[in-house]
Copies of this chain bind each other. A is one copy, B any other.
Amino acid sequence: MKTHKKPANGRQASLKIIAEQTGVSMMTVSRTLRGLNSVAPKTAAKIRKVAESLRYRPNKLVEGLRTGRTGMIAAVLPTTLGFYEEALRSIESSLDKLNCSLILNMVAQDFGQDAMREELRRLHRCIDLRVDGVILRPVNDDANAVYFNEVMERGMPLVVIDRKLPDFECDFVGTDDRSGGGAAARKLLSAGCRHLALLHAGTRISTSRERREGFLAATQNSGASVCELDCGSFLADPAQLAGFFESGAAKSVDGIFAVGDLLARDTIQVLKGLGRECPRDFKVLGFGRLLLNDPSSVRLATFDQHPGQIGEEAVRLLMDRLDNPGKPPRSVHLPAAFVAGETL
């Protein structure tokens, strides 16, 4: 058996090299390896043998150069994956099925000038690689301009997930937070709660804002009282929580909706410190099913946002957008599903 030389200088096998070693033209090699049948069987066999021995693999960079399609999709997610880990998994697996590659970018949550530059650098790298599109969980409103200037304006498809960007027209996939907030209210009401507390993370983050709106709308004419606390983020400040629940308005609360599970968990803890037991003295409902991997903590009643479905749908939207650049942007709102727990 004849041994074939490896490509020089560490470069991988190419059509040219195979052509040289078999004494035919590059085109014949190309045709053979693509399975086009206009090649003489004998020639084809020889070419295939050489290609195999050189471990030839087509160069996708070239395809990207020629066709404008690289098969690379960028994802931009928070450094602390948390909720998005499942979304990441489904994005990766969806892309795999489409024979596409995932370029992962993790950005810090906090958003000063430095973080902004960090994010911009990553976006530019993706653009320079000519990714086919970007799936992105926005950090906050301020990021708006960046995404638009750097991605959308070049006609590079962008799918935003989970949090909406205001005044920004592009494809979106997330939870139907408004309905979720409404459902939460109804759950607490039908559990007999008359003094409700709403713990949210402010109105600048769309998920918090819309869950709040849905909740307030659904409690409007219910006869129940509602007091609310803006926690400023999805993470609790125990002191703030304690202060709130000792204040007049919240003293008699018997039903609590927290727009995030972490907020809910810490609330239970804080109230326990104040001598109030859940669910004996009050019910609690969270959102996001974030404590899935925390089997030893209390089984919180919550809402599942199906992050896997969000990721899957994001890829679907992105691919659809690639085929139909003209279409108007679409928003997909997936319903949140109630998950029973021992806190309600």
A: residues with CB less than 8 A from B are 5-12, 55, 57-62, 64-65, 67-72, 79, 81, 85, 88-89, 92-93, 96, 99, 101-106, 118, 121-122, 124-130, 132-133, 149-150, 153-157, 293-298, 322-323, 325
Q: Is the CB of A293 within 8 A of B296?
A: no
The answer to whether A155 and B10 have CB atoms under 8 Å apart is yes
Q: Contact check, B92 vs A81: say whether CB atoms are below 8 A apart.
A: no
Known: A7-B68, A7-B69, A9-B325; 7 extra A-B contacts, CB below 8 A, are A8-B130, A8-B157, A9-B68, A55-B150, A65-B65, A103-B104, A294-B295
Contact yes or no, B118 A106, CB < 8 A: no
Chain B residues near A64 (CB-CB < 8 A)? 61
Decide if B103 touches A102 in the complex (CB within 8 Å). Answer: yes
A-B pairs, top 10 by smallest CB distance, nearest first, are: A7-B68, A296-B297, A9-B155, A60-B128, A104-B104, A8-B132, A61-B61, A296-B296, A92-B106, A9-B156
| CB pair A99 B125 closer than 8 Å | yes
Chain B residue numbers with a CB within 8 Å of A125 are 60, 71, 99, 101
Q: How many monomers of this chain does the complex have?
A: 2
Given A92-B106, A126-B101, A294-B293, are A153 and B55 neighbors across the interface (CB < 8 Å)?
Answer: yes
Q: Looking at the complex, which one of B57, B89, B323 makes contact with A79 (CB distance below 8 Å)?
A: B89
Chain A interface SS verdict (over half): mixed
Query: What is the CB-to-nearest-CB distance from A199 to chain B, in angstroms, rounded to a whole number?
Result: 19
A61 with B130, Cβ < 8 A, contacts A104-B92, A154-B12 known: yes
Give the shortest distance, in Å, between A84 (CB) and chain B (any CB).
Answer: 11
CA distance A101 to B115 in the complex (A): 18
- The distance in angstroms between the C-alpha atoms of A101 and B118, with both chains bound, is 13
Is there contact, CB below 8 Å, between B60 and A130? Answer: yes
Instruction: Tell me if B67 and A127 are in contact (CB < 8 A).
Output: no
**Of the candidates B55, B121, B129, which one forms a contact with A72 in the assembled complex, judged by CB atoms under 8 Å apart?**
B129
Taken together as a complex, chains A and B put the C-alpha atoms of A103 and B95 apart, in Å, by: 12
Residue A68 contacts which of B10, B93, B121 (CB distance < 8 angstroms)? B10
Residue among A127, A129, A297 with most chain B CB within 10 A: A129
Chain B nearest CB from A70 CB (Å) reads 7
Nearest Cβ in chain B — how far from A169, in angstroms?
17
8 sampled A-B residue pairs with Cβ under 8 A: A8-B322, A55-B149, A58-B128, A59-B65, A102-B104, A103-B103, A293-B294, A296-B298
Which residues of chain B are near A6, meaning CB under 8 Å?
68, 323, 325
Q: If the complex has contacts A121-B96, A126-B101, A296-B294, are A8 and B68 also in contact, measured as CB distance less than 8 A?
A: yes
Contact (Cβ within 8 A) B101 A129: yes
In the assembly, what is the distance between CA of A58 and CA of B85, in Å? 32
CB distance from A120 to the nearest CB of B (A): 12
A128-B58, A129-B61 known; A96 and B122 CB under 8 Å?
Answer: yes
A12 to B322, CA, bound (A): 15
B103 near A101: Cβ-Cβ < 8 Å: yes
Within the complex, the shortest CB–CB distance from A263 to chain B, in Å, comes to 15
- In the complex, residue of chain B having the shortest beta-carbon distance to the beta carbon of A129: B60
Q: How far is the CA of A64 from the CA of B156 in the complex (A)?
A: 21
CA distance A127 to B325 in the complex (A): 30
